[in-house]
Amino acid sequence: MSSFLKDKTSFTTDAPNASDTSTRSGALLDAVPDPVLAIAADTFDVVYANPAALRLFEWNRSANRSLADLGLGPEEIRLRTVLSSSDHTRREIQVARDAKLYRIDCQLLSTAGTADDDQVILTIWSPAADIDRNRRDHEFVATVSHELRTPVTSIKGALGLVLSGASGPVADKTRALLDIAHRNAGRLLLLVNDILDIEKLTSGNMSFDKDLLDLVAVLDAAHDATASFAHQFEVRIEVEAPKGPVMATIDGARIHQVLTNLISNACKFSHPGGVVTLSLDDSDPEKVRICVDDTGVGIPQSALHTIFDRFNQAQSGHRNRTGSTGLGLAIVKTIVEAHGGTISLDSVEGQGTRACFTLSRPAPE
């Protein structure tokens, strides 16, 4: 353990040596009104709980406690997955406990040493909202978006028909106006579909239909589906994948959605003439790593840590505003995590971006 947390007793309020830094840190955390738990990154043992956390979990003391003692039921697996992902140093997750929803801010801290087992995850719990209210909100948004989808689809379809000349010749001035209406109906449809997806994913109402599938074929299909989109941006997509099948248990349609989202981002933010590379690495027997690389405008460092949040867009005034909702990456992340995988985004402004996600592989027979 790090020096900060080495002496577990130094976190209790009755620790004697107040001049000791760890005692002072502990006393400070003791005073935080929100429940705070420090969890060992290697064993998931609870190494510290402040008084608010002791009250929440109804513990007398934190000694010999682990994630299993948090009373989370099946939600524990989700929390465990988030805590195990080392790709991010700071993450937020919502979990339900005792009919209440908590937002947990998780931060990986490396303190004195540099070895893995010197790392602790500091988790701060705050009540999110009561679950019933949350469910009603979800249902409302889902219903409204669903009801909007049909009329917007027919508006877009009708405008497309008129523009194609199906109802007679269209005067140039009228065409310009119809073009605007058609483009914006498309944009609205995209937004409605994305909101519907986000609601289904975050309320747990999206079902995943998983099968043992060949990821190389899934990659090829995503390449074919995005080729004409890439062409619009004068970008070429290249696939680098092993020849043979690489099997994984996935919901093919949802992983297709992940890939097309990442590829469309890579195309949208590339310069004309750019190449987007879609690659698959199967050298790890436990997980497959799939990456989408571009040499486009990149993402400013300051925007990277919130890039997976909903409605987040890093570049204002980019050449393609119409195909954007700022929901794509939030959807992608939720789908990848629902498959037990992790996703990360690295970027250098002005040079390009790399988005990678992992999917676990079935154990050999």
Ligand X SMILES: Nc1ncnc2c1ncn2[C@@H]1O[C@H](COP(=O)(O)OP(=O)(O)O)[C@@H](O)[C@H]1O
> Residue 326: which of ligand X, Mg ion, none does it interact with, CB under 5 to 8 A by kind?
ligand X
Q: Judged by CB under 6 A, which stretch of 85-93, 102-110, 112-120, 322-330 contacts ligand X?
A: 322-330
* Rounded Cα–Cα distance for residues 175 and 181 (Å): 10
Query: Least distance to ligand X from the beta carbon of 308, Å?
Result: 8
Taking CB under 6 A as the binding criterion, the range among 34-42, 50-58, 223-231, 309-317 that sits at the site for ligand X is: 309-317
Site for ligand X in 245-264 (CB under 6 A): 261
Residues numbered 262 to 281 that lie near ligand X (CB under 6 A) are: 265-266, 269
Sign of CA dihedral 164, 166, 172, 175: negative
Residue 148, both tokens: 């909007």
Our finding on whether 307 is near ligand X (CB under 6 A) is yes
Tokens at 159, concatenated: 């405008």
Identify whether the C-beta of residue 331 lies closer than 8 Å to the C-beta of residue 197: yes
Residue 265 in contact with Mg ion, rule: CB under 5 A: yes
Query: What's the helix, strand, coil split of the chain in %, to 5?
Result: 45, 25, 35
Among 314, 343, 356, 359, indicate the residue that binds ligand X (CB under 6 A): 314
Residue 180: CB minimum distance to ligand X, A: 20
Tell me which residue has its CB nearest to ligand X: 328
CB of residue 161 vs Mg ion: minimum separation in angstroms? 28
Per CB under 5 A, the segment of 191-199, 212-220, 237-245, 327-335 that binds Mg ion is 327-335
Report the partner that residue 38 touches, choosing among Mg ion, ligand X, none (CB closer than 5 to 8 A by kind).
none
Give the SS3 label for residue 303: helix
Alpha-carbon span 201 to 330, nearest angstrom: 10
- Rounded to a whole number of angstroms, the minimum distance from the CB of residue 209 to ligand X is 24
Cα angle 188-192-193, degrees, rounded to a multiple of 5: 120
Regarding 328 and contact with Mg ion (CB under 5 A), the answer is yes
Picked from ligand X, Mg ion, none, the partner binding residue 282 (CB below 5 to 8 A depending on kind) is: none
Nearest-angstrom CA–CA distance, 312 and 303: 9
HEC secondary structure over 60-85: CCCCCCEHHHHCCCCHHHHHHHHHHC
Footprint of ligand X (CB under 6 A): 261, 265-266, 269, 294, 296-299, 307, 312-315, 324-329, 353
